[in-house]
Structure 1
Amino acid sequence: MRKIPTNLVPSPAKAELPLDLTGPHITAGASSAHRLYQALCEMIVGGLVKPGEPLPPSRTLAKQTGFRRNAVVTAYERLIADGFADATVGSGTFVAARIPAPAADSKKPKAVVEAPRQGAFSLGCTHIDERAVQRFRAFGRRMRAFGPEHLHYGDPRGSRELRAAIADHLLSARGLRCDPDQIMLTSGTLHALRIVLSAILKPNDQVWCEDPGYPAARKTISHCGYRAVPVPVDEHGIRVAKGRTAASSARAAYVTPSHQFPLGVQMSMPRRLELLDWARQAGAFVLEDDYDSEFRYDGAPLMSLAGIDHLQRVIYMGTFAKTLFPGLRIGYCALPERLIADVTAARAALDRFPGTLMEGAVADMLNSGAFAANLKRVRKLYREARDALAETLEAASDGALSVPVPSQGLHLVARFDPSVELTVAAQAKQAAGAEGWLLADTYSRARPLPGFVLGFSGHAVPQLVASAERLARESRGALRARSKSARRA
């Protein structure tokens, strides 16, 4: 007879389960549903219940564990989604006839794969609400369902179901009306940029790029054989007149109008109309990277440039890397009708078509309201992180840093006075062991400003505050050291 550890939930009745809710396999501090899921998995894999054996009704297990019934239901749904259990309408929930293989013997040496370090201020980190995680896992049934659509080459633009859900989202969130046929799925913004440029440009064609701007986009443009032309940015956005002077024959412009990267300015309406006028006159296209527009903290998101233009000369690019998580690797672009055939052909030539297994799950997230609910919850977390970071930097730097609080986005810029040498910021960042970017690294030709580009999304507030205090302290120290050196000279 199997010996039951003393720390298991008591099981006097036959219907009760020998659940270990305190062992090392349980994540401390996790939700009730997650801990119960872990305990059930351990019990099933360990053979305490046999394949095909019925599990207690959710009310019975809730009474046994003291958890709420919805936690039990959520745990059961996840067991089913992950293949540990099956459900039969009217009969209940049963241990699956075939379950995943048990983990390897813990005494055997294990290979350890370290995740890339993501310290405070790293850009591109996200948080996803636990309720959204549970919902996403429940949608695992969609990902696990193996249908005929996975057995042949698909539409180069991706599944129509997800494209239709994205079109609905763009209409409600960004004021952009488009048909699902105008949407193309990609693995991210840079992938979309590469595909689109290959369809609309010829080798050595010029592309306007904001200066300062997103370095990865500039590198992608240059790597693909096009000429990235830096165009200065001011408080109104890209300076179109400067672009005309620098490259009047440019065939495209890459911009971040809703939240300019990295400075955070919003392109003014006169500047937007000026940019669209140039595109029409030059027969050029504007590539709008709308990378974080869903995270606006003061009022509704601004209308997209593509929405103003009605997708005539603007190609809109978005991503789920910020709104859900980077590992999803799903982005998209919305195309003018005249470009659908050419861009689709370019996509088919580059990598044929996007992966199909995740598309249904993401479509369910959008259509069920879980996506919007997650945005609402994490937007509050990011606002708190933004405020804590800005307040700490301002106070702890004692005037050394200026920190404009952005009304949108997932990063902020902390600047020294423009007269400060760039080496001061580099020394402070290195001494503080800070992640994030040097502001100077985002410039191409314009005179760089000294400061930092700091991400606040996906980081715990205590970690942000402690790191901000350290960076501010080192910034003061680097300034003092530079001042003493100047006086001696």
Structure 2
Amino acid sequence: MLLNLREASGPLYRRVYHALKAMIRAGRLGPAARLPSTRLLARDLGVSRNTVMLAYEQLAAEGYLVSRHRGTTSVAGVMPSRVALAPARPKLEAAPRLSAYARRLVRDPLVPSSASATLPKAPRYDFRYGSPAVDEFPREIWRRLLAARARRAARESFGYGAPAGYGPLRDALSEYLARARGVSCDAERIVIVNGSQQALDLVSRVLLDPGDGAVVEEPHYSGVTIPFEAAGARLIKVPVDASGLDTSRLPLAGAGARLAYVTPCHQFPTGVIMPLERRLALLRWASRVGAWIVEDDYVSEFRYEGHPLEALQSLDRAGRVVYIGTFSKTLFPALRLAYLVLPSALVRPFIAAKWAADRFSAPLAQEALAEFITSGQFERYLRRAGSRNASRRRALIEALRRHFGDRIEIAGENTGVHLVVWFNDVKPRELDAVIARAAKAGVGVYSIAPAYTRPPDRAGLLFGYAALTEAEIRAGIQRLAEAF
């Protein structure tokens, strides 16, 4: 028997298997046709008998071969799937009937279009905003914590976890948030979720009905529009000025606004900080119109100038603020752990929504994180990261000033892990060409325009700096200047 083993790849037994299967499916080995013994075929092919035996066993398991008396092997009389043997015919299928939720979701250009969609390879000098310095994370400490938890963990840690999250982690967060951000809460009001994006998804499911108004900042974090619009909400875009969300432009009571999503400690993308007067005005508005405030307190841990303001939630006396925090920007994105601090009235519905979505978040990761916090490692790491980020921020500003001088204006540099650069001598329509030239030079820079509903009348770029060394920052900005 002649088999072409070159048309398939992989282990030798898989190549024999594929060659025989192709002959059967093509009809060259018909029903009940007898195959050579494993010893004889192995000799003809110059392979081991075990290789042929494995191929025969796989074909028999799939229903292509049957073993007869006295050890003979034949092609099965009936194939596993007659449909599979028929020539493929093009079939016109009607578009599937999707729910209104799914139709709204798939229209969003930010949503991946296929299962094979992956992030593009990062350029050599990538100023992507929001990326932490994952190379600086104490991996050995984290590895030991995970290994120790896996060894010592009770049986429950390998089973189903509590929807609200691991109790000791919620206890640790309650103490940390009170100390670091002035957040007033007990552990019973904290729900652990799989990243801040799941937090926003739960917010949309619990607090929004189709047609409800949802206030978002303009410009705004584009990820917030995905769950809100998928829930059928009407986006009410309120402009941001030098003091953050302009509270004088908030909708009146009859406008149907159910919530307002804000980033008061580091507005995304502009980086401006909302002063106390505006925070109090926002809280008064929420109480007056019966709306919820969703406070996204991302990267509030990093402030380089001035005295840090506590979270907006710390001022809330009426129980109107839903507070979101995440570890993706401070530790590493793959951890996929974030948390909600909820008003008492919302705890039960949010736990129910979390349970319906995915039951619980990974227990072992939560246990390791709880120990990382209670042992003091988390805050020690934040102090090191803050010092490192300050140096990298300074290097970025110096490099930008050196190469671009008064051609640029820098904004939003006092907090967070990114800043904004406005170019005085570049028109907005020219910016895409600049970004493309920078990419060819190995530099990744990102336009601020996608954060706006209508593109701004100035050319602006976002520069993240936490994930680059000072030397990489200087080299990257030099290459960027050469690309202009």
TM-score (normalised: structure 1): 0.70
Q: Report 1:41-440 matches (<5 A).
A: 116-117=121-122, 119-127=125-133, 132-145=138-151, 146-244=153-251, 248-298=255-305, 301-310=308-317, 312-404=319-411, 406-417=413-424, 420-433=426-439, 434-440=443-449
Inter-partner Cα distance in structure 2 for 1:211 and 1:237: 10
- Which of 444, 452, 465 pairs up with 2:461? 452
1:139-182 deviations in whole A, cap 9, x for unaligned?
Answer: 12344234221354322111111111111110011001201011
What is aligned with 1:29? none
Tell me the SS of whatever aligns to 1:203: coil
Moved more, 239-248 or 216-225: 239-248
> 5+ unaligned residues in a row in structure 1: which ranges?
1-112, 476-489
Cα displacement (A) at 1:225: 2.3
Cα displacement (A) at 1:132: 2.9
Inter-partner Cα distance in structure 1 for 2:187 and 2:482: 51
Cα displacement (A) at 1:241: 2.3
Cα displacement (A) at 1:438: 0.4
Cα displacement (A) at 1:216: 1.3
Q: Is the 8 A contact 2:213 2:255 kept in 1?
A: no
TM-score (normalised: structure 2): 0.71
Q: Equivalent pairs: percent with the same residue? A: 35
Q: Is the 8 A contact 1:294 1:301 kept in 2?
A: no
Q: Sort the Cα spacing of 1:179 and 1:334 in 2 relative to 1 into closer, same or farther, 3 A.
A: same
Inter-partner Cα distance in structure 2 for 1:258 and 1:369: 24
Cα displacement (A) at 1:299: 5.0
Q: Is the 8 A contact 2:438 2:445 kept in 1?
A: no
Cα displacement (A) at 1:446: 7.1
Aligned amino acid, residue 427 of structure 2: E
Q: Is the 8 A contact 1:123 1:454 kept in 2?
A: yes
Inter-partner Cα distance in structure 1 for 2:252 and 2:433: 37
Cα displacement (A) at 1:304: 0.2
Tell me the SS of whatever aligns to 2:142: helix
Moved more, 168-177 or 128-137: 128-137
Q: Sort the Cα spacing of 1:252 and 1:319 in 2 relative to 1 into closer, same or farther, 3 A.
A: same
Q: How many residues align?
A: 362
> 5+ unaligned residues in a row in structure 2: which ranges?
1-117
1:454-482 deviations in whole A, cap 9, x for unaligned?
Answer: 1101112211111112223434xxxxxxx
Inter-partner Cα distance in structure 1 for 2:136 and 2:126: 21
Q: Sort the Cα spacing of 1:131 and 1:385 in 2 relative to 1 into closer, same or farther, 3 A.
A: closer
What is aligned with 1:484? none
Q: Is the 8 A contact 2:324 2:339 kept in 1?
A: yes
Aligned amino acid, residue 427 of structure 1: A
Q: Is the 8 A contact 2:193 2:361 kept in 1?
A: yes
Aligned amino acid, residue 137 of structure 1: R
Cα displacement (A) at 1:311: 7.1
Q: Sort the Cα spacing of 1:125 and 1:156 in 2 relative to 1 into closer, same or farther, 3 A.
A: same
Inter-partner Cα distance in structure 1 for 2:238 and 2:409: 25
What is aligned with 1:110? none
What is aligned with 2:46? none
1:408-447 deviations in whole A, cap 9, x for unaligned?
Answer: 1000000023x85212222222111132420112101474
Q: Is the 8 A contact 1:120 1:463 kept in 2?
A: no
1:243-301 deviations in whole A, cap 9, x for unaligned?
Answer: 32698321001110000011110001111111111110111101001110011123553
Aligned amino acid, residue 451 of structure 1: G
Moved more, 219-228 or 181-190: 219-228
Q: Is the 8 A contact 1:195 1:346 kept in 2?
A: yes
Tell me the SS of whatever aligns to 2:371: helix
Inter-partner Cα distance in structure 2 for 1:368 and 1:229: 43
Let me know the Cα RMSD of the aligned residues. 2.2
Structure ID, larger Rg: 2
Moved more, 227-236 or 394-403: 394-403
Inter-partner Cα distance in structure 1 for 2:147 and 2:303: 33
Tell me the SS of whatever aligns to 1:402: strand
- Which of 452, 461, 479 pairs up with 1:443? 452
Q: Is the 8 A contact 1:387 1:405 kept in 2?
A: no
Inter-partner Cα distance in structure 2 for 1:245 and 1:420: 39
Inter-partner Cα distance in structure 1 for 2:253 and 2:462: 27
Aligned amino acid, residue 358 of structure 1: A
Inter-partner Cα distance in structure 2 for 1:137 and 1:115: 28
Moved more, 344-353 or 427-436: 427-436
